[in-house]
Structure 1
Amino acid sequence: MKKLIEAIVKPLVDFPDEVRVDVAEERDRIVYKLSVHPDDLGKVIGKNGRMAKAIRTVVYAHAAATEKKKTYLDIQ
């Protein structure tokens, strides 16, 4: 899942080396924490949050097919 998130986000940003995905796995859920360079945050969120919503849609669809726990994507 980390590779999927990185593959989606890295082409969108100006600083692809600063894209980080951390995983916090709990008993009943998995939280992927995406962090990018501060100058790239607007690009990842997009106008009215459309880009963030699209990224989450792809990630959640993939998670529904592969993960057994509830999955969340936190963009920082």
Structure 2
Amino acid sequence: MERLSALAEFKDGKINNIDGMRVEFADGWGLVRASNTTPVLTVRFEADSQDAMQRIQARFRQLLLQVNPELHLPF
């Protein structure tokens, strides 16, 4: 999570680091956080449209792959 936060640049979104890293955009949000029960990162997304969802997921995918290019991401 520290590496993600250090690399995060979301000029069109507001970052909230209270419980992981949640980024609020005008048309949705994305969240990545450490799981409380297993050694994994959990991601969640919500958006006003399918296009917004794909755009937000792509931004998080790009960030996560910067930290570890070998990640298998299910979104």
Normalising by structure 1, report the TM-score.
0.42
Normalising by structure 2, report the TM-score.
0.42
Using CA pairs below 8 Å that are at least 6 residues apart, which structure has the higher relative contact order? 1
Greater share of residues in strand: 2
Greater share of residues in helix: 1
